[in-house]
Structure 1
């Protein structure tokens, strides 16, 4: 048993609550007058956190005449924000096991009825891809706010369950809930995933009505939606009207040109060069879209030059497995030597193995050697293989 030092400071009493002590000692200190209304609250929180609910009830009842009302006040004013922070931490790192344990404690403490806690639980379960639990809590929440609807829509959309997400959005409209800036990007993602251009145009009207045209995330999804649905003219019109752009905006428009053919791949490359001219820094996704455009458009030499510059580190972007995959596809389409394609496969596989080794993962049974691959392990770059 940890010997308590009777100090009035709340943080010490919180520490005591987490360490625990005997029930008789707690009673003696209450009778001795060590406990005051101001000092008991942190200790009650400490008892609740470690699951010592019996001592929590004892402390609350013995603090006459403040007893039950004080206990309830401590729970509402202190424990709810505490558990909100705990749930938020589990959501940020997607720790489902700990989230379920905290949920069990919330039910035991008796604050699971609180709409504030329920809203955060719905959001956290959705973030952890547990939509069954999220939907169950959502259905039992008395006040279903816009935040709750957004959490459900975003959760379904992140799992590519686009029809379920749109069903929740329809419920939101029937309930008369107001949109906010986090509502429509997920809805537009669903429209893009289903290639539902007609529905996407209706959502575009909602963007205009609610005044979200200046929201960059919404504008980016508009460009993505129109591009994936094949309406490159409207996608480019939305792109040109934007007063603010980031790498996501440029990548979305470049990807639209790169995947729809009809000589649009050259426009994708031209747009990439314009992106560099305005000083926007491309990221790994941008290079993937450009290399894909070069592959589909037969722009092999341009794609090779771009890949060489990435290999030399001129853009400050680390080569990833997706970039090697694009190059394999590009050279395969162009009918290049199988030896060169084999070298790319080898280097991509080697990169994957190196990254997984850093994470202490064994991948020996997942990678197979590439036959007839030239030896470029002596420090020569990929350009030397191309020049052979």
Structure 2
């Protein structure tokens, strides 16, 4: 980096002048120039020309080395100093702390001939920041004279190490609090999961007339975002405008997050648009706000604008953009962002790497997801969970279980998300005993918080394997009250095995919890239809009508060159519909040559066989696949998404189509990804 213009002019003067450097840069002047200088070598060159630098100049040079993390140079200079004062000792200790050498910092502190309150505060602050909270605590209580800064350092240290009660106790004992003290407690309470406490502290501070800083306002907005206290947030916003902090980065970033969490899309867009000079933090807050409100396309559009404006993304920006690709199932866009990640040198960052693993798996490209995972230089729990859950969702259960064994071998402790992915994998692969074993492992470990989702998975494992009585008994013996998800899992299993009796029991329990649950009515109606109980089908549909419930129509879509094409059953709205139907007729002939027969059990209406066959032939997923065959390059993968579960007839048909046309077809339904290749599906016909 270049040195400051003022320093370059000074250097030029030195070269042309016969005066000594101390005449040109006397006293504080040289200190100021050295600190402003961005080029440490140039600063060092100036310093070396001073015949006998005094202790103050040496201390300034130590500070320069500290800022550049050059601890060896700082120590060499410190050890060569003929005279050292308290300030020089404090500077070298601070340098050691900044460079992470705590043992040397503590050793130098103990060797100090004289200490002042800054010495004690520096060492306490350093120990606390690096997690040596017990050492910091002993030093704090050994301090002969504590100023407010020392108290603040200890409070911040307690909060950063999760000891909020100790921080609160110390805060209550403080002889004199300032705005930094309050901000430390508010921030600490929020970061440790107690946003309500943080909110109370902010209100108390406000009532006591303490004037907030921009950092305090930023914390307050974050707390209001967590608690969704919209009224207080808008009051703080008005105060921020009056005090002139509205354009400061941390404050405006927190405001955007606050309005995004409160679902006020126009408000956070306006705040962003009103700011003239935007940095990466503001752009990232905007992208995150868009994504959290389901505006994935806007998030990606803003990401492009950010790049065009010359602002370079950071890890959080890339992660948010990649998550938006997941929301849109936009694999091509995700790949382009991946290219930007590599160009900007973020491919080695674990945060971005994890987001890439998730993006590829959620867009149905499990091979690239695995490749990204294998290429991660460092892996954390999120990395392992992302790939295990990804494999489970894509129907590759055995891969998920193998990865879990590898994870345990790497001494990474699983959590509740890991087990949710593993139980899902067991459900997808008929591994009943393995599922029972994993669930029992969770029950025996008190550190695991077993949630309703885990119970629902276990119900699915038992129910889909045909053990419906056991599944019902499992639900009734749950230590927590079964929720809608649990009963829906049982009802869905009844649909697989057409068990009307248990389905009726599950539906009754479900309607007692939520009488407007459309999925429950549809499942029950389909179960009755599969059993040929058309009067019960009519009764269920009448109940839906009485409650004003409308069945979500089946819809499938395919994205080609960033354009999304949607289809419903029997759809003829596409400009290429005549060609699509001709393609379907051609497919139909080929399917019959391979022995395919329409499975009329999935035509859930009381009509004759011909009408049933007609409706099955033009299901939305078949239309989307036919369109994909027409418009995508020969040999490329066809990717289709359906909003509901794929029906058994379409599943059988698409399997055979993949073999007939020699192409991979990836179909994502509401349950999982189905990867069809050469007449086989990754789910092994079990979903």
Q: TM-score, normalised by structure 2?
A: 0.39
Name the one with the larger strand percent.
2
- Quote the residue 1:181 is aligned against: 315
Deviations 1:132-182 (Å, cap 9, x if unpaired)?
Answer: 211111111111221111001112222332112112112212222111121
Offset at 1:289? 0.6
Offset at 1:302? 0.9
Change (3 A) 1:202 1:339: same
Are residues 1:134 and 2:268 paired? yes
Partners of 1:147 and 1:13 lie apart in 2 by 30
- Quote the residue 2:297 is aligned against: 163
Deviations 1:64-98 (Å, cap 9, x if unpaired)?
Answer: xxxxxxxxxxx9xx754543443344345543332
- Quote the residue 2:427 is aligned against: 295
Change (3 A) 1:83 1:225: closer
Which structure would you say has the larger Rg?
Answer: 2
Deviations 1:306-346 (Å, cap 9, x if unpaired)?
Answer: 111211228x3121111001011111110103243343255
- Quote the residue 1:383 is aligned against: none
Offset at 1:237? 1.2
- Quote the residue 1:285 is aligned against: 417
- Quote the residue 1:320 is aligned against: 451
- Quote the residue 1:270 is aligned against: 402
Offset at 1:212? 0.9
Any conservation in 2 of the 1:94–1:127 contact (CA below 8 Å)? Answer: yes
- Quote the residue 1:230 is aligned against: 364
- Quote the residue 1:307 is aligned against: 439
Any conservation in 1 of the 2:300–2:321 contact (CA below 8 Å)? Answer: yes
Any conservation in 2 of the 1:258–1:289 contact (CA below 8 Å)? Answer: yes
Please provide the CA RMSD for this pair.
Answer: 3.3
Offset at 1:12? 8.3
Change (3 A) 1:226 1:84: closer
Offset at 1:51? 11
Q: TM-score, normalised by structure 1?
A: 0.67
1:90 to 210, 215, 224: 224
Are residues 1:343 and 2:477 paired? no
Change (3 A) 1:176 1:307: same
- Quote the residue 2:349 is aligned against: 215
Secondary structure at the counterpart of residue 481 of structure 2: helix
Any conservation in 2 of the 1:122–1:138 contact (CA below 8 Å)? Answer: yes
Partners of 2:239 and 2:286 lie apart in 1 by 23
Any conservation in 1 of the 2:249–2:281 contact (CA below 8 Å)? Answer: no
Higher RCO (C-alpha 8 Å, min separation 6): 1
Of 108-117 and 122-131, the range deviating more from structure 2: 108-117
Any conservation in 2 of the 1:51–1:105 contact (CA below 8 Å)? Answer: no
- Quote the residue 2:277 is aligned against: 143
Partners of 1:154 and 1:336 lie apart in 2 by 44
Unpaired runs of at least 5, structure 2:
1-147, 149-174, 180-204, 485-511, 516-687
